[in-house]
Amino acid sequence: MALYSYHITALPRHMPYPHPPPPTSSNVSTANSNHSSAAPLTQSSTPSSTHQQNRNRARTGIANIGPSVANPARLPGQTPAQTLGRRQRSPASDGPSDPQPDSSQAPDNDLTEPPTKRRRENNTMGGSDILDPHNGAPLGFSNGSTEPSVGVTNGHKSAMNGSTNRDNNSTITKSHGMPSEYFGHNREEVTRLLIQALSDMGYQTAADNVSRESGYELESPTVAGFRSAVLSGSWSKAEELLTGASFETEGQGNGLVLAPSADRNAIRFWLRQQKFLELLEQKDTSRALVVLRSELTPLSHDTGKLHFLSSLLMCRSVDDLMAKADWDGANGQSRKLLLSELSKCISPSVMLPENRLAVLLEQVKQSQIDTCLYHTQALSPSLYSDHFCDRRWFPTEVALDLVDMNDEIWQVQFSHDGSKLAACGSGRQVIIWDTHTYSVAEILDDHDEGVGNMSFSPDDTMILCCARDGYARLWSTSDGRLIRQFNRFAEPVSGCVWAHDNRSLILGTLDPTFSLRTINLQTNEEYDWGKKHRVEDLCGSLDGRWLVALDNEKRIHVYNAITRELEFDMELNKRPTSVSISQDSRHLLINKSDGEAQLIDLVTRNSVQKFFGHTGGAYMIRSAFGGANESFVVSGSEDGNILIWHKNTGAAIERLPGHHPRCNAVAWNPTDPYVIASCGDDGRLKIWTNKSHSVEIRARYLQNRANDADTWDRDER
Amino acid 411: pLDDT = 97
Distance (Å, rounded) from C-alpha 469 to C-alpha 132? 44
Average pLDDT over residues 182-194: 94
Point out the least confidently predicted range of 138-152, 306-320, 365-379.
138-152
| pLDDT tens for each residue of 553-606 | 899 999 999 899 999 999 999 999 999 999 999 999 999 999 999 999 999 999
12 vs 538 pLDDT, higher one: 538
- What strands, in cross-sheet order, belong to the sheet with 8-11? 8-11, 493-499, 504-509, 516-520, 526-528
User: Does the pLDDT of residue 150 top 60, yes or no?
Assistant: no
Average pLDDT over residues 542-557: 93
Amino acid 128: pLDDT = 36
Distance (Å, rounded) from C-alpha 132 to C-alpha 128? 11
Amino acid 16: pLDDT = 37
Residues 8-15+388-716: name the CATH superfamily.
YVTN repeat-like/Quinoprotein amine dehydrogenase (2.130.10.10)
Residue 61 CB coordination number (10 Å): 16
DSSP letter at 346 equals B
| pLDDT tens for each residue of 495-511 | 999 998 899 999 999 99
- DSSP bridge partners of 433: 421, 440
The domain limits of the chain are: 8-15+388-716, 222-348
Point out the least confidently predicted range of 246-260, 472-486, 566-580, 658-672.
246-260
Confidence bin at 338 (pLDDT 50/70/90): very high
Crossing angle of helices 204-214 and 187-200, rounded to 10°: 160
Which element (helix H / strand E) includes 423? strand 420-425
Distance (Å, rounded) from C-alpha 667 to C-alpha 644? 11
Amino acid 713: pLDDT = 67
Distance (Å, rounded) from C-alpha 111 to C-alpha 572? 60
Closest to 5 (Cα-Cα) out of 558, 533, 549, 407: 549
What string of H, E and C letters represents the secondary structure of 76-130?
A: CCCCCCHHHCCCECCCCCCCCCCCCCCCCCCCCCCCCCCCCCCCCCCCCCCCCCC
What amino acid occupies position 560? N
Strands (E), 185-269: 185-186, 246-247, 257-258
Amino acid 122: pLDDT = 38
The span from the first CA to the last CA of the chain, in angstroms, equals: 43
Q: Concatenated DSSP letters for 127-187? A: ------TTSSSSSS--S------SSEETTEE-PPP------S-TTT-EETTEESEETTEEH
Point out the least confidently predicted range of 125-139, 200-214, 322-336.
125-139
User: Does the pLDDT of residue 398 top 50, yes or no?
Assistant: yes
Average pLDDT over residues 70-80: 37
Q: At a CB cut-off of 8 Å and minimum separation 6, what does 238 contact?
A: 226, 229, 230, 271
Q: Are strands 439-444 and 430-434 parallel, antiparallel or unpaired?
A: antiparallel
Confidence bin at 620 (pLDDT 50/70/90): confident
Point out the least confidently predicted range of 56-60, 297-301, 598-602, 713-717.
56-60
Strands (E), 627-695: 632-635, 641-646, 652-657, 663-668, 676-680, 685-689
Amino acid 2: pLDDT = 55
539 vs 616 pLDDT, higher one: 539
Task: Kindly report the average pLDDT of the chain as a whole number.
Answer: 80
pTM recorded for the entire structure: 0.68
708 vs 664 pLDDT, higher one: 664
User: Does the pLDDT of residue 526 top 80, yes or no?
Assistant: yes
Amino acid 175: pLDDT = 54
513 vs 421 pLDDT, higher one: 421
| pLDDT tens for each residue of 655-681 | 999 999 999 999 999 999 999 999 999
Which of helix, strand or coil describes residue 399?
A: strand
| Region of 49 on the Ramachandran plot (φ > 0 left; ψ -120 to 50 alpha; else beta) | alpha
User: Does the pLDDT of residue 92 top 60, yes or no?
Assistant: no
Amino acid 218: pLDDT = 86
Q: Are strands 420-425 and 430-434 parallel, antiparallel or unpaired?
A: antiparallel
Distance (Å, rounded) from C-alpha 590 to C-alpha 509? 19
> What percent of the chain shows pLDDT beyond 90?
66
Distance (Å, rounded) from C-alpha 281 to C-alpha 397? 63
User: Does the pLDDT of residue 83 top 60, yes or no?
Assistant: no
Task: Looking at mean pLDDT, say which of 165-179, 342-356, 400-414 comes out highest.
Answer: 400-414
User: Does the pLDDT of residue 320 top 80, yes or no?
Assistant: yes
Amino acid 428: pLDDT = 93
User: Does the pLDDT of residue 74 top 60, yes or no?
Assistant: no
User: Does the pLDDT of residue 250 top 60, yes or no?
Assistant: yes
User: Does the pLDDT of residue 73 top 80, yes or no?
Assistant: no
Asked whether the beta carbons of 232 and 149 are under 8 A apart, the reply is: no
Average pLDDT over residues 518-528: 94
User: Does the pLDDT of residue 715 top 50, yes or no?
Assistant: yes
> What percent of the chain shows pLDDT beyond 70?
75
DSSP letter at 295 equals I
Amino acid 716: pLDDT = 67
